[in-house]
Amino acid sequence: MPQFLDTTDPAFDAGFAALLDAKREESADVDAAVRAILEDVRRRGDAALIELTARFDRVELTPDRLAFTAGEVDALCAEVSAEDRAALELAAERIRAYHARQMPEDAAFTDPEGATLGWRWRPVGAAGLYVPGGLASYPSSLLMNAVPARTAGVPRLAVAVPTPDGRANPLVMMAARIAGVDEIYRVGGAQAIAAFAYGTETIPAVDKITGPGNAYVAEAKRQVFGHVGIDMIAGPSEILVIADADNDPDWIALDLLSQAEHDASAQAVLITPDGALARAVAAAVEARLETLARRDVAGASWRDYGAVITVRDLEEAATLADRIAPEHLELCVAEPEALAGRIDNAGAMFLGPWTPEAIGDYVGGPNHVLPTARSARFSSGLSVLDFLKRTTTARLTPEAMRAIGPAAERIAEAEGLGAHAASVAARLGRLNG
Ligand SMILES: NC(=O)c1ccc[n+]([C@@H]2O[C@H](COP(=O)([O-])OP(=O)(O)OC[C@H]3O[C@@H](n4cnc5c(N)ncnc54)[C@H](O)[C@@H]3O)[C@@H](O)[C@H]2O)c1
Ligand SMILES: N[C@H](CO)Cc1c[nH]c[nH+]1
Ligand SMILES: [Zn+2]
């Protein structure tokens, strides 16, 4: 059974706080395990990567088998049906069109003092794209990583994808082909993140690691941050549905289960002002769980982390949504735009009953790599900006130096930084002398 909460209940605050604090990723254990894995790969390179892959994915590799060969990719792509290929191509094109609009422009302007200032954008040199593959396969995540990276113009793209028991997913290979990526390694988990961050004999290090994954992948990215860039914490999936009375309970139940089925650590929450809908959705989830293929995973997530919250009104729902800061927020209400305007914290919003979150996972266009664990309070979903860096530019004329240099000299002296002050003063001296 999920947790049932009601904002009119005096115990609500404590129950809601416990929901927000739930340690879905068993933090302490994962932290320590990941630290050991990162250190091992950093010290022993390929040898550690191969041992860890044997332990966690049950695949025996050798250094020359870490990367897929072109022939292996060809053979796997040949297994993909024309219909599946067409669906991936449609998804890729919609993702490309959406992300192309995100490309920022360089800028330069001359201010009244005569300083020409600006900024320019350049892609990172190499990006490591993580594509999850432990409990399910994610060709869609390959597209969501690689298409924006290509749009940003990243010269080297490398993919890591686990192949549990040696099974490689043909659609992942086809997605790589469609996105134009041919450097693909059969490694996953924290050990793949370590290889990208530190490099091994076979896998050259990258500058930035992006992509979603389970608690081990998310924690590994957190720990290597600083040594390399990362996009965000994109861990076990989450969905919050806010629904009014006028909804089909079965649709809402399926939307909740669509994220619960990703991982036993996933979280699905319903908030509604309608008690009857709350009960009907909870019953529909139980009914759907009986026949769902992934009922073990989805049922564990719903039982351990699921919640149904009854509120006084939609205003209260919006306030709670901001505190949850969900990865995905579905607004199944009569006026979704108005409610969306009231909410600041969410990775992605889905407005109205005809926009199930699952559309966003595949073909909507916006990215499905999104911040989890309440990190939507301060970070955003993957975009072309994650694959670019901005460099500022400044050029002063002598007149500009005369106008703004004295203030710089003064502040430098106040900070006690004599070389800074002298660096400016030397130029001012030439101008004044
Ligand atoms: N937030 C997002 O944008 C987003 C998008 C897609 C998927 N996801 C999430 O990605 C995750 C995919 O998880 P997955 O498991 O299917 O694939 P995964 O590739 O993320 O994880 C599999 C790897 O985890 C490692 N691992 C598993 N158990 C371990 C243990 N006990 N100790 C150390 N390492 C261990 C193994 O190395 C294995 O290769 C799900 O949680 C899903 O919800 C999130
Ligand atoms: N819902 C996931 C992000 O949390 C993305 C995904 C990929 N495939 C299916 N779903
Ligand atoms: Zn999903």
From 214, 239, 375, 380, the mutation candidate for ligand 1 (largest count of ligand atoms within 8 A of CB) is: 214
Give yes or no for residue 310 having a pLDDT over 80. yes
> Which among 219, 235, 251 is the end of a domain?
235
pLDDT digits (tens, 9 = 90+) for 365-399: 999 999 999 999 999 999 999 999 999 999 999 99
Q: Is 81 annotated as a binding residue?
A: no
CA 167/CA 133 separation, integer angstroms: 10
For residue 262, give both structure tokens. Answer: 């990703």
Residue 24: per-residue pLDDT = 76
Closest atom of ligand 1 to 382 CA is: 3
pTM value is: 0.96
**Domain carrying residue 46:** 27-106+122-235
Q: Give the mean model confidence (pLDDT) for residues 143-156.
A: 98
Q: Catalytic site residue 328?
A: yes
CA 371/CA 231 separation, integer angstroms: 9
- Among residues 219, 238, 261, 327, the one annotated as catalytic is 327
CA 382/CA 143 separation, integer angstroms: 12
Q: Give the mean model confidence (pLDDT) for residues 116-133.
A: 98
* Same-domain check for residues 352 and 411: no
Give yes or no for residue 26 having a pLDDT over 70. no
Scored b (16 or more CB within 10 A) or e, 92-111 reads bebbbebbeebeeeeeeeee
CATH number at residue 404: 1.20.5.1300
CA 127/CA 34 separation, integer angstroms: 21
* Same-domain check for residues 152 and 204: yes
Give yes or no for residue 25 having a pLDDT over 70. no
Residue 28: per-residue pLDDT = 63
* Same-domain check for residues 176 and 278: no
* Same-domain check for residues 171 and 288: no
Residue 29: per-residue pLDDT = 86
Residue 84: per-residue pLDDT = 98
* Same-domain check for residues 149 and 18: no
Give yes or no for residue 185 having a pLDDT over 90. yes
Average pLDDT, the chain: 97
Residue 149: per-residue pLDDT = 98
Residue 22: per-residue pLDDT = 86
The percent of residues in the chain predicted with pLDDT above 90, rounded, is 97
Instruction: DSSP for 95-163, please give it.
Output: HHHHHHTT----EEEE-TTS-EEEEEEEE-SEEEEE---SSS--HHHHHHHHHHHHHHT-SEEEEE---
* Same-domain check for residues 18 and 44: no
Q: Give the mean model confidence (pLDDT) for residues 417-431.
A: 98
pLDDT digits (tens, 9 = 90+) for 332-342: 999 999 999 99
Taking the alpha carbons of 221, 222, 223, 225 in that order, is the dihedral positive or negative? positive
β pairing state of 3-6 and 328-332:
unpaired
CA of 52 to the centre of ligand 1 (A): 15
CATH number at residue 82: 3.40.50.1980
**Ligand number nearest to the C-alpha of 370:** 1
CA 203/CA 184 separation, integer angstroms: 10
Number of domains in the chain: 3
CA 350/CA 333 separation, integer angstroms: 11
* Same-domain check for residues 201 and 272: no
Q: Is the CB of 265 under 6 A from ligand 2?
A: no
5 pLDDT band, cuts 50/70/90, is very high
Q: Is 130 annotated as a binding residue?
A: yes
Q: Is 214 annotated as a binding residue?
A: yes
Give yes or no for residue 78 having a pLDDT over 80. yes
pLDDT digits (tens, 9 = 90+) for 264-274: 999 999 999 99
Give yes or no for residue 433 having a pLDDT over 90. no
Give yes or no for residue 276 having a pLDDT over 80. yes
CA of 181 to the centre of ligand 3 (A): 23
Nearest CA residue ID for atom 5, ligand 2: 361
* Same-domain check for residues 261 and 333: yes
Q: Is 227 annotated as a binding residue?
A: no
Query: Per the domain annotation, does 111 fall within a domain?
Result: no
Nearest CA residue ID for atom 6, ligand 2: 361
Closest atom of ligand 2 to 328 CA is: 4
SS (H, E, C) 399-411: HHHHHHHHHHHHH
> Which among 323, 342, 364 is the end of a domain?
364
CB 370, CB 327: distance < 8 Å? yes
CA 147/CA 254 separation, integer angstroms: 29
* Same-domain check for residues 262 and 317: yes
64 pLDDT band, cuts 50/70/90, is very high
CB 223, CB 34: distance < 8 Å? yes
Q: Could you count the other beta carbons within 10 Å of the beta carbon of residue 60? A: 10
Query: Per the domain annotation, does 403 fall within a domain?
Result: yes
27 pLDDT band, cuts 50/70/90, is low
In this structure, the residues whose C-beta lies within 6 A of any atom of ligand 1 are 33, 56-57, 132-136, 138, 141, 162, 188-190, 212-214, 216-217, 234-237, 262-263, 266, 327, 368-370, 372
